[in-house]
Structure 1
Amino acid sequence: MDMIDIGCNLTHDSFDKDRPEVIEAARAVGVTQMVVTGASEDGSVKALELARQWPGILSATAGVHPHLAADFSADTASVLAELHRDERVVAVGECGLDYFRDFSPRPAQRRAFERQLELAVDCGKPVFLHQREAHEDFMAILKEFRSSLGALVVHCFTDTREAMLDYLALDCHIGITGWICDERRGHHLKDFVQEIPADRLMIETDAPYLKPRNLRPKVKSHRNEPQWLPWIAGTVAACRGVSPVRLAEETTATARAFFDL
């Protein structure tokens, strides 16, 4: 199967000792392309560096996660704008709102989100979105900008069916992670993931986070890796009543079109 992991944090220091091996392990099981998430100014620079080292295999996003929104400055915006001049940077973000922990004040989160959506309008690239416990404000900002934006994906979707329908009504794509494999927190996704149109569904690991809890055989490490994307694909396929091969074909085609890979 040919699969694309649309969101993996390969710049994370947990990969510093074996990053090439992690990438090759993923490719060995059919994860032929990976999009490396840029979630900070420095992380976005490093994501592009990785994309340059593995051309055709890795691409990058460039943005600032809402946890770091308080540090977003005019200089940050300039750095991101420069990064987006490179065709290997395929989306703006990870950006959005996160009221679950409020690591940055909410007004700062909203300002940083709006600045990055303005950047997406200017560069014309898709947007890689993050939202947690902030649906109302998130939707209000998206609606304000939607007519000027291109493709959008709500990455690592963990919310309710009602939230999903709101995003689909805004013509957003939905990214599903190993959260759906978590019997404690993600079981609700199994009830409605089949309602996502095939041309709006993509899959991702969000590695090193969210290792599938139903992974078999069990792996001692807590670190998630792109090589376990097929397990997520199989879980999603079962929920949708399709074969893993069909799920892989559909999500890969959608990801290639979305990111212009």
Structure 2
Amino acid sequence: MIDIGVNLTNNRFDKDRTEVLSRAKAAGVDAMLVTGTNIAESREALALCRQAPDFLYSTAGVHPHDADGVDSDYLDVLTELSQQSCVRAIGECGLDFNRNFSAPEQQKKVFAEQISLAARLNKPLFLHQRDAFDSWFQLLSPYLSCIPAMVAHCFTGSKEELLKCLDAGMYVGITGWLCDERRGQELRDIVKLIPLQQLMIETDAPYLLPRNIRPKPKSSRNEPAYLPVIVDMLAQLTGYSRQEIISQTRENTVRVFNLTAGVD
């Protein structure tokens, strides 16, 4: 299995990061993408990848929450980071109008600049969107044919939004949101509409601990070792076998992010 979204630089992993990676491997996770959410985190993600080049890859980007804080040279820094062999996508980038930690217009500006950068660098986009679908999709639409791949990370939207993403050829990342019958029921109802050829799996650790884990972990922290729980729920809701989901999501991820080391 490959976990396409792990916030491994998060301070909740500071005390046992090595053990977290060991547990992931023991659970059948043989590669993961470490998410970059701003310049500092993108640099940290790259540094972690260099310590485990046969296992970790990363993204480099600015999350909408961090859009207000970008320096004037941030695109130059992202360009430089993207040249490193570990860095396989631009992002996590997008729009988030749910909490507006950054001003909406600044979010749009920084997102548009990163979309353009991905097109120029011929890199996939690792995308975030919350309560901003129309603006988000409008900014992406002109680039659908000139960016190698777009991944709708941690998809939690509606049926209409899902179909638009799929029709646009995007890949859809599914997290432990699927395992929460309270918040995730709409996603549970529509996840079967995602073709296996456009599906990816992720934990978004340390966030979104699958609610159905038994026995319940003592900590609320999610980690990549719980990725099989998401696969099991996908199998239950879609009718695909665990092995079909594991094999096809692996193939999709290897192809989109051009993974080589550690992937047979």
- TM score, norm. by length of structure 2: 0.96
Q: Deviations over 1:87-118 (max 9, x none)?
A: 21000000000000000000000000011111
Moved over 4 A (4+): none
Q: Deviations over 1:184-217 (max 9, x none)?
A: 1002112111111111000000000000001111
* Distance in 1 of aligned mates of 2:240 and 2:215: 23
1:163 to 158, 161, 164: 161
* Distance in 1 of aligned mates of 2:30 and 2:179: 22
- TM score, norm. by length of structure 1: 0.98
Residue 129 of structure 2: aligned partner? 131
Quote the RMSD (CA, aligned, Å). Answer: 0.8
Q: Deviations over 1:227-259 (max 9, x none)?
A: 000000110111110221221111111111111
Are 2:3 and 1:5 aligned? yes
Residue 145 of structure 1: CA displacement?
A: 2.3
Identify unmatched segments of 5+ residues in structure 1. Answer: none
Residue 147 of structure 1: CA displacement?
A: 2.7
Residue 244 of structure 1: aligned partner? 242
Are 2:165 and 1:190 aligned? no
Q: 5 Å matches for 1:23-62?
A: 23-62=21-60
Q: Deviations over 1:135-191 (max 9, x none)?
A: 110011011222321200000000001100011111100000000001110021121
Q: Counterpart amino acid of 1:254?
A: N
* Distance in 1 of aligned mates of 2:64 and 2:16: 28
Identity over aligned pairs, percent: 49
Residue 123 of structure 1: CA displacement?
A: 1.0
Q: Secondary structure at the match of 2:172?
A: strand
Would you say how many aligned residue pairs link Structure 1 and Structure 2? 259
Are 2:220 and 1:222 aligned? yes
